[in-house]
Structure 1
Amino acid sequence: MTSSSKTAPARFKDLCLDARDHQALADWWCAAMGYVRREGEGPAGEPVAIVDAAGGGPLIWVCPVPEGKVVKNRMHIDVYGDVERLRGLGARVVAEPDVEKGVPWHVMQDPEGNEFCVFVPPAA
C-alpha cells in the first residue's frame, strides 16, 4: 500500500476564475448569480472572493491576470438561469441548444470570454 492510498481523496473547495479586470468581472458574476463580495477584501490588486448571498453555492475567487483569454476553457461553470437576463447583463450566446442532438443548454461567455453553460431551471 502506498502512502497516497492511505490519505483521504481530494475534495472540492473553491472555484477560481482568471480575469484581466477582476474587479469588474467579480461584479458581473455577483449580478449574474446573486452573489456578493465577501467582507474584508484585501487590496485592489488581490483576488476578489465572491459568495452566494443565499449561502448555497461555492465560493468563487476572481483572480487578476495580465493576459486576456485566448482559447476555449478546459473547465467551465454550469448554471440554471435565464439566457435573456444574462445577455442583458453582457453575456454573449456562442451556441444555441440542439435538442435533436441531446444538447438542451446554451453555451454563453461572460464579458471576458469565459464560457459557461446555461440550463433551464428545473420545475419548482
Structure 2
Amino acid sequence: MTSSLLMTILKELPLLSGSIETVGSISYASQESWSFNTSVRNNIFFGTEYNKSRYQRVVEVCALERDFELFPFGDKTLVGERGVQLSGGQKTRITLARALYRNSDIVLMDDPLSAVDTSVAEHIFDK
C-alpha cells in the first residue's frame, strides 16, 4: 500500500480520482535497493556535485562510516560485477544516502529501515 501511494505521488502510477500536487524537488529511496557498477561514492553522488560537508554528514547519518573502513578502497571501492558485493543493509543505506545527498525539498522513503539491524535502524532514525 505504501509503495503504491509513493509511486502515485511520483506519478509512476495513475491517480484514479482526486489530485496530488507536489511543490519542489523530490528524492526517492525505494524499497528495492539498487546500485551501479561504479564506486560507492558515485552511487551516492548519482551525478550531483561533490560537497564535502554534506557528503560527510550523509555518510554519518546513514551509518556508512564503518563500511567505508572495511571496504578495500573506502568509498572509492567499486560495487558490483568487478567490485565488492554489498549486503542488503549496505545497499539500503547507500540508496538512502543517494536520496538524502541530493538535498531535495521532499524525500520519500519506502521502508528504509527494513534491511538493517536494530542498532543501525536506531542510529539512522535518531540522526
TM over 0.5: no
Q: Which has the higher strand share?
A: 1
Q: TM-score, normalising length from structure 1? A: 0.30
Q: Which has the larger radius of gyration?
A: 1
Question: Higher relative contact order by CA 8 Å / sep ≥ 6: 1 or 2?
Answer: 2
Q: Which has the higher helix share?
A: 2
